[in-house]
Structure 1
Amino acid sequence: MTEAPARAHYEGDFVAWSGGCMFIGAGGAAIAPHAHYAIQLALGAPAGLSVQFGRRGAWQELAATLVPSRAVHAIDVSRCAWSCVIFIEPETLEGRAITRRLAGQPLALPADALAVAPERLERAWRVEQSADAVRALAIQLVEGLSRTVRQEASDPRVLQAIALIRERGDDGVVLEELAAAVKLSPSRLRHLFVQETGMPLRTYALWRRLLQVWDRLMEGETLSRAAHSAGFADSAHLSRTARTMFGLAPSAMRMTGPLAARQRDPQRHFG
């Protein structure tokens, strides 16, 4: 097998949806043992993904792996031709189902557990160069592994709260203000928000701010300006928060894939 050329940074694209997000690309150095909030699904194609479970576990070469929230692990995708890392919010319907399935232990996934997902993802990313197609396939993959069907918020008060959170952006979110705006008590809004979205309101607001950063980077913004636009004091504050949620800092990644290029220049045609 011919190994992919080494790249110091992970170079690719970022795609997000409610309750999840993903990085798809190539390169990057091995990430030291760490733990983070999001559940992680990692796959390397056509081979080359290496994972270490725990701080002293043996490195294993796998087709893919599911890592529960807060589980210590290390990952190396540097020998993959390309790789995909999906982060799943633990409080979502899918996240809770995967958490029950894993019971606190990482899971090595054989290639046949993914069926044709890698090939379809690569085509949507490299050939079709469609963020919507990549997103749909990632969601479908998560649904299959969690054995669930996505749940979208439908209560108009929660939808209004979500709209206000997105509108406020870097101004931050105050529970009492949101509750007053949607005519609910703070405790009732907190309960209803979790019931409808699967996420605590505060976690959702932080998740949105982090997604906003990577959206800005996809648009070509600098890391410092992206951090400030999302309400972080500076890039160091952003990095600490990103490591807690995802286990990596935005500075380790460069949004230079075909989706980012198309987003910055919609008129451009790719061969």
Structure 2
Amino acid sequence: MAMESFKHLWLGRDYGLIQGTPGPTAPHAHYAYQLMFSQGGPITASLDGRVTTAHHLFIPSRMPHAILHTDCEVVTVFAEPSAFDLAPLQAALADSELSLEALDCTLRQLPRRALEDARVERALLALDQQLSGKVSAHALAQAAHVSLSQLERLFAIQLGLPVRRLVLWRRLRVALGLALGGSTLTEAAHGAGFADSAHFSRTMKQLFGVTAGASLRNLQLTPLLP
């Protein structure tokens, strides 16, 4: 989603919070659940090709969507499907105050999903350790003590993404944190294992509908401690 007009980003390990006025985006799809709350005028968005106008929007993981119009401040929650069960997440956010502080408190208190298989946990740990360089799916499979085909099945069933797509998602999270922490786009790209800043920016547009340069403009980052 467009973050060029947003003012505040609170970024945690498995969720992010943004408060500000979003601009229009190109069609895109990302891994996170996305929930948008407007206390002013409505938000108009295309959700899987259907135009919807509402004050509260829920965008499922991997659903193609685009923000078309809103002229008021919006609070947006991004939550990792690997960490949160959807029904408790939606119920908790529906009852929460719509401030960054209150939403952060609500999300901290929500129980996390327990991965059903320790092999997936081992693969994710190995993935995070390799993000600054080339990530080998075969090396992840070896760390999990499974074959590559078994690893792909486990990721699809338990995480909802193939290995390659999850690597891109986690690289993007690292690159955003580096760029918002003061690194140049090139430094952030290399620190997260992207080939260059152009690769970082293309991935940003693919997953969030805007380029890295536009998305990071005027953002104030608050890193959330575990």
Q: TM (normalized to structure 1)?
A: 0.64
Task: State the alpha-carbon separation in 2 of the partners of residues 45 and 55 from structure 1.
Answer: 21
Whole-angstrom CA distance in 2 between matches of 1:59 and 1:169: 37
CA positional deviation for 1:173: 1.7
1:34 match? 27
SS of match in other structure, 2:151: helix
TM superposition shift of 1:188: 1.9
> How far apart, CA to CA, are the structure 2 residues paired with 1:42 and 1:156?
30
How far 1:209 sits from its partner (Å)?
A: 0.5
Q: Deviations over 1:166-208 (max 9, x none)?
A: 1111212212222233332222222233344343222222211
Q: Give distance in 2, aligned partners of 1:153 and 1:113.
A: 21
Give the fraction of aligned pairs with identical amino acids, expressed as a percent.
Answer: 23
CA pair 241-92 structure 1, distance change in 2 beyond 3 A = same
Say whether residues 1:245 and 2:224 are aligned partners.
no
Q: Is 1:25 aligned to 2:4, yes or no?
A: no
2:154 maps to what in 1? 192
Aligned to 1:79: 72
Q: Could you tell me how far apart the structure 1 residues matched to 2:40 and 2:165 are?
A: 34
Give SS of 1:34's match. coil
Q: Deviations over 1:5-32 (max 9, x none)?
A: xx963221142445xx43412144x214
Q: Compute the displacement of 1:92 (Å).
A: 8.1
1:64-107 residue CA offsets vs partner (Å, 9 max, x unmatched): 11234343432445421x42142655x88857x8xxxxxxxxxx
1:256 aligns with 2:220: yes
* 1: CA distance, partners of 2:20 / 2:135: 36
Query: 1-side partners of 2:154 and 2:31: how far apart?
Result: 22
Q: In the alignment, does 2:30 pair up with 1:66?
A: no
Give the aligned residue type for 2:163.
L
**2:80 aligned with 1:116:** no
Residue 165 of structure 1, CA deviation: 0.8
Distance 1:154 1:87, change over 3 A: closer
5+ residue gaps, structure 2, are none
Structure number with larger C-alpha Rg: 1
Counterparts of 2:141 and 2:50 in 1: how far apart (Å)? 47
Q: Specify which of 171, 175, 182 is matched with residue 220 of structure 1.
A: 182
Unpaired segments ≥5 residues, structure 1: 1-6, 98-108, 126-130, 141-148, 264-271
Partner SS for 1:86: strand
Q: TM-score, normalised by structure 2?
A: 0.74
Greater RCO, CA 8 A, separation 6+: 2
Contact 1:152 1:196 in 2 (8 A): no
Match of 1:177 among 139, 149, 157: 139
Pick from 211, 230, 235: which aligns with 2:173?
211
Report the aligned-residue RMSD: 3.7
